[in-house]
Amino acid sequence: MFDHTSETLHFTKNWQQQLTEAFNNIEDLCHYLQLALEDLPTSVSATKNFPLRVPVSFAASIQKGNPNDPLLRQVLPIKDELSIYSGFNNDPVGDLASTVEVGVLHKYHGRVLLINTGSCAINCRYCFRRNFPYSDSQLSKQYEDSGIQYLNEHTEVSEVILSGGDPLSLNDERLKSIVQKLNAIKHLKRIRIHTRLPIVLPARITESLITTLTGSTQQVVLVVHCNHANEINVRVKNALDLLRNNGINLFNQSVLLKDVNDQPNTLCDLSESLFAHGVIPYYLHLLDKATGTGHFEVSETIAKELIKQMQLRLPGYLVPKLVKEQAGALSKQTVL
């Protein structure tokens, strides 16, 4: 069980060690957060197909003793995940239909997405890939050559998106190897990395990682995933500052989540906090309708009103685009 002393020691360890010490059962997490299990609608059954995983660095930002904390709601398995919601399914954005090689998704013109790993530092309960068959559909070393060959043959592709899972859960050697192979493809202009690790496991942002990213001959764009200003603690601030100070382009994408960030003040605070550390609010996603996530849904009508309220309070560059993804569409759909 974690106490103050073990928590302090935890943050002196490297990112891999911190990752191994992530909370992986409900009882330990609730004990750390000083929450009584009987006061929460938790569900062990909800963890059978999608386990609990919460790094201590993220849990430390959850208010102890508060069962309604917006960060806790993102990671705590509850009974609502077992409810059936109309229109929700295991592949809500059509990833499988867009797979052209193992681990290679080609949905949109000029962009290809690589599923580099099935691993994440955190299991967000609203995840749109929570039911994705990673064992059969990720770009492991075994299939990497065919993925690179596909990119070489498709000269219309100017940007590669590293995704997962979380590509920053790969070790530095593996990540550097991928970047170098992409750098050898002359028609590529950018490498975009979609990651939650700078937010939930900021220890991952090391000098070695910075060297890999800044050593790319193609532009690197890092799109982080942060839903609430309370996620940006001092360790996250330092990680974001390190990335920004080394010239890494930083954007954020959020998911609009019921009882997490579905208030105008909450969204405005998030945009302000992100921009203070060099991160541009990029997308606010309507929930992708993955099985087990229906209790997070916010209606499109409410979402539009939230954006209007943000527009009244913030300069335009701090208002993210409200978007949704539709299976088979040729781009993300702008809602407002």
The residues with which 222 forms a beta bridge, in sequence order, are 193, 250
Mean pLDDT of 93-100: 95
Q: What is the CATH number of the domain that holds 157?
A: 3.20.20.70
For the chain, percent of residues with pLDDT exceeding 90 = 93
d(CA 50, CA 145): 30
pLDDT band at 312; cut points 50, 70, 90: very high
pLDDT at 100 over 80: yes
pLDDT above 90: residue 168 = yes
Residue 156 forms part of a structural domain: yes
Residue 85 lies in a domain: no
146 within 8 A of 152, measured Cβ to Cβ:
no
Specify the 3-state DSSP secondary structure of 320. coil
Instruction: Give the chain's domain count.
Output: 1
* Residue 265: inside a domain: yes
Distance CA 138, CA 209 (A): 22
Mean pLDDT for all residues in the chain: 96
| 321-to-4, 130, 233, 257, 309 alpha-carbon distances in Å | 40, 24, 25, 15, 13
Whether 54 is covered by a domain: the verdict is: no
Mean pLDDT for the stretch of residues 245-252: 97
Is 313:268 a contact under the CB 8 Å cutoff? Answer: yes
Task: Return the axis-axis angle of helices 264-275 and 300-313, rounded to nearest 10°.
Answer: 50
* 336: pLDDT strictly greater than 80: no
Q: What is the DSSP letter of 288?
A: P
Beta strands 219-225 and 249-255, pairing class: parallel
Q: What domain range includes position 135? A: 96-334
pTM of the entire structure? 0.96
| Residue 144 lies inside a defined structural domain of this protein | yes
The answer as to whether 164 is a domain residue is yes
Q: Is the pLDDT score of 4 beyond 80? A: no
Tokens of 13: 């360890």
List pLDDT tens digits, range 42-93.
Answer: 999 999 999 999 999 999 999 999 999 999 999 999 999 999 999 999 999 9
